[in-house]
Amino acid sequence: MDKKKKKVLESKGYRVGSAENFLGLSKEESEYIELKLALSQALSEQRKQKKLTQIQLAKMLNSSQSRVAKMEKGDPTVSLDLLIKSLLAVGATKKNIAEAIN
Domain ranges of the chain: 27-101
Alpha helix positions (H), 15-102: 19-23, 27-49, 54-60, 65-73, 80-89, 94-101
- pLDDT at site 23: 86
The whole-model pTM stands at: 0.79
Percent of the chain with pLDDT over 70: 100
Q: How confident is the model at residue 77 (pLDDT cuts 50, 70, 90)?
A: very high
Find the Cα–Cα–Cα–Cα dihedral 28, 45, 62, 75, rounded to 10°: 40
Q: Give domain 27-101's CATH superfamily.
A: lambda repressor-like DNA-binding domains (1.10.260.40)
Integer Cα distance of 24 and 83 in angstroms: 26
Dist CA 87 CA 45 (whole Å): 10
Pair 87, 97: CB distance under 8 Å:
yes
